[in-house]
Amino acid sequence: QFWEDMAFSSTNDMIRFTPGAEREVNQQETGAGSLLFWGDNTRIRGIRVENIVRNGFRTNIPSDAYNAARFEFQRGPNAILFGTTGDPAGLVNRTTQDAVFRNEGVFQNRLTEHGGIRNSINYNRVLVDDTFAVRLAAMRDDDKYWVEPNFQEQTRFYGAAQWRVNDKLTLKISGEYIDWLRAAPEMGIHFDGVTPFLEAAKAQGKTPAELAQPSAINTWPNYNNGLPRYFKNWGYSGGNTTQIVFDGNDATPELQNWHSKLMGAPAEVVGTQNVSLPIGFAPLDFNIFGNSQTQKFNGYNVNFVAQYRVNDKIQVEYAHNREMMNYDFIANWDSTRLNIDGASTLQDGVTPNPMAGKYFVTNATNWGLWQDRYITNHRLTASFSHDFAEKGPAWLGKHDVAVLLERFDRKHYWDGMRLVNTTPLEGYQPELWDPNWSHQNAIRFVNYVDLDTKTIYGVHNSRDFLDYAKTVPGITPEWIPTYQAIGGGQSFDERLDSTLIVWHAKFWEDRIVPTVGWRKDRIERYNGTVGQDPNRPAGVAQYARDVQMVKDEQQSALAPDTYSYGLVFHAIRDMGALDYLSLYYNHSNSFTSAVFFNLPDGSKAPNAEGENTDYGFKFGLMRNRVTGVFSIFEATNKGNADVRGIKMGNLSQLFEYIGKTEYTNIPQVFETQDIQSTGWEFQATANLARNWRATVTVDHFKTEKTNIAMTTGRLTEEYRDEWLRNPDDIIGTGTGSRTVQEVFDEFYFSYLQEKAQEGSRTMNERAYKVTLVTSYDFLEGMLRGFGVGLDYVWQDRALTGYALQNVGGAWVPDPDNPFFNGKIGYLGAHVRYNRKLLNDKLDWTIQLNVRNIGDVDPYVIRHGASADAPTQKVPTYISRGEPQTFILTNTFRF
């Protein structure tokens, strides 16, 4: 009922109304990155959660409501009792619908004001009464984001069957297929590469085109040759001649050499060149890089369950789960900045440049991530129940014992892909790809844009880049696997053999209810890292599937124990208006195998371990018309690989500069931290009348971080002097030519900003949240059949950055002077009408939802400061906000 009232379709929609939880994109300044790489983005009690579960099994399939029976947001210590292990904060479990022994069906059509259309059908049919039933479901979602021109196309099919063989044996099977393509928008306001240039032109009384200067090809590096600071040099190391330029002008060639091209310099503050454009400079509903950030999911899941009831006390269940998912992502990190053409001529230095002073974006990185993810589970569960009151001393109570044996295999192949020219142009290195940041032979797309008309010239959907490049004379394009510091290929094969025993009992007329769980995991893992393919030209890596994996002896020697215990005491029952008051206490530890990430020195990221405690009370009032729960919690997570703000690309460039190549080609580099999260949550649900429901939640939490990025800190202390021996030397980077000092400063400031959170508040964490959801149905009178509802979310302000302090002549973050943004609220409402049609054979509901009433204005996610005004906030990353949106849903039940 909840997700139907709200017109929600996934956990990402529901998470905002869950106490102690939020969407991952609210925590980071990654913008399109989080939307691009993950289907479900969840933080519970301040800890990023990978425990996304489908029917009790880990899954890589994003959630959806079209075939869901229920969604469970399990917060706290009881997560391991679900038979999964991982993040200590909790898990999200989506249970899909079984085939059931009644005929029923539903068709739903949903329209959004931005042009999105979603259709789904779900039909259950009994073929043999009380014996055999099947369910078929399908969904097609052609969604449009409010940010143009981005989109989402999703097709899913689902089937389930249930066969009740006899009174003891039941067999169930289900399967799902998904095909999902979307172009993720940048949910923040784009970065500013234009205002310093525009301000300089205005100060000199010139137009932007008049401020432009002639190009001087092959003069790289020309960073320090007297150019004004409002200019920037495109100059990639070694040059790059495969720019395919779309400017809407037939007079200019598409294939251009932008070696040493002039463009406007980015706006910047201390520590970063990523500063948001002023609000209103570009339309909020326009994504300047178009559809160049794309994601494709494709795969299936099959689940089989055999349930056997030995007798009234003993039940046995075998479950088999098999899943394959292919992830195909294409990212263009450079594309998030609006640039301005600062060249008055084309590359010959003579021909006038008709695009001087015009805006463009560089859809230029063209980095692809291909992943094949396989999961196989075999799970055997046996449960035993006994009530001593039936025969024996009643004080011995009722007991349930469950034993679970599971084999969990997961195998991943990751390939880091680049779009390159496989027939290098004259004068450039024969290696098809240089992993050391020169981007040699990469094919880059440049799109000029018109902000007034929201026009992007040329091809901007990354799925079309390869085919278009094939039409350009002089180049031979191909997506090739590469090896490098970011996005390099790797593979692993991990087997987890688990034993779980859970004991649950009830004593003293069911007033005292203890639960104890113990889990043992035995790990066997093999790893593979790609290198040069011996059968391909230099620079082409092996595919991850072709790499011989090697047993990870250290990881395979692990056999961690995890446990959970809890106690519920039903202290009061049936005391006037108080139906019950129950006290509870739960505690568990957790273990997460580190399979994806490496530390900056090339060593494997540590396994994450955690502890989780919560306690509180539950109550019911007025014959349970009002129920609620209050929890106090504390969670710790050591070795949490979620430090994502450090400029690891800069670190790799610095190591390449001093020849430490063993640190430059490490794939999937992340840093770790230890997290302690404390807080409380309150949730109350009131059925104020038969037709009036309301739910209120209030939560508060605070995460404190320690031991942030210890490996990065050690490497910095060891190599800092060597990096800065000649600070004015030029480094060719993926974003142009810069001095060693500049590359270091940006890296070091990002590191210090992460370290500044030690003992302080966590970036973009909103400490308090209040939600209200209520609905009312009219049962009589002229409005009979109508229903209305209201929902509201309020969140506290968040830490967004720090003022600066000068230490030893360098500007660094000042943890004692934090910056904050403002509080935020989301208001929504719905109205629906329900009636029977076709002699009561068809139940029709039409519903209109309005989200973000009055609009959610843009708000700052990150602040920085300049050396000229070290205590003045400068927005470096601004959310676009969320506009008021209408959603119309028609549902037909039959």
Beta bridge partners of 266: none
pLDDT, position 3: 85
What is the C-alpha to C-alpha distance for residues 426 and 437, in angstroms, rounded to an integer?
20
> What number is the average pLDDT over the span 104-109?
98
678-695 exposure pattern, b = at least 16 Cβ within 10 A, e = fewer = bbbbbbbbbeeeeeebbb
- pLDDT tens column, 452-473: 999 999 999 999 999 999 999 9
**Phi–psi pair at 196, nearest 5 degrees:** -60, -40
Predicted TM-score (pTM) above 0.85: yes
- 222 pLDDT above the threshold of 50: no
Q: Would you say residue 126 has pLDDT above 80? A: yes
User: Which helix (H) or strand (E) covers residue 744, if one does?
Assistant: helix 740-755
Q: Is the pLDDT of residue 224 over 60?
A: no
Q: What is the mean pLDDT of residues 249-262?
A: 84
- DSSP per-residue codes, 32-94: HHHHHH-S--EEETTEE---EEETTEE--SPP-STTEEEEEEEESGGGGGGT----TTEEEEE
Please write the tens of the pLDDT for every residue from 778-794. Answer: 999 999 999 999 999 99
Q: Is residue 833 helix, strand or coil?
A: strand
User: 124: helix, coil or strand?
Assistant: strand
**pLDDT recorded at residue 428:** 76
With H, G, I as helix, E, B as strand and everything else as coil, classify residue 15.
helix
Cβ atoms 378, 331 nearer than 8 A: no
Hey, which bits of 388-511 come out as E strands?
Answer: 398-421, 444-450, 455-456, 477-482, 490-506
pLDDT of residue 429 exceeding 60, the answer is yes
Structure tokens given for 709? 């990025």
Whether residue 235 has pLDDT greater than 60: no
- Length of the chain as a residue count: 894
* Domain 1-96 CATH superfamily: TonB-dependent receptor, plug domain (2.170.130.10)
In terms of pLDDT, which residue wins out, 551 or 436? Answer: 551
Q: Mean pLDDT throughout 147-151?
A: 94
Assign 221 a pLDDT band (cuts: 50, 70, 90).
very low
Grade residue 689 by pLDDT with cuts at 50, 70 and 90: very high
Whether residue 614 is predicted with pLDDT greater than 70 in this model: the reply is: yes
Mean per-residue pLDDT for 317-338?
92
Q: Residue 435 phi/psi, 5° resolution?
A: -70, -5
Locate the domains of the chain by residue range.
1-96, 191-293+332-365+423-475, 565-763, 773-894
Give the model's pLDDT for residue 76: 73
- Has residue 507 got a pLDDT over 50? yes
CA distance linking residue 532 with residue 434, whole number of Å: 11
| Matching residue, tokens 């969320």 | 882
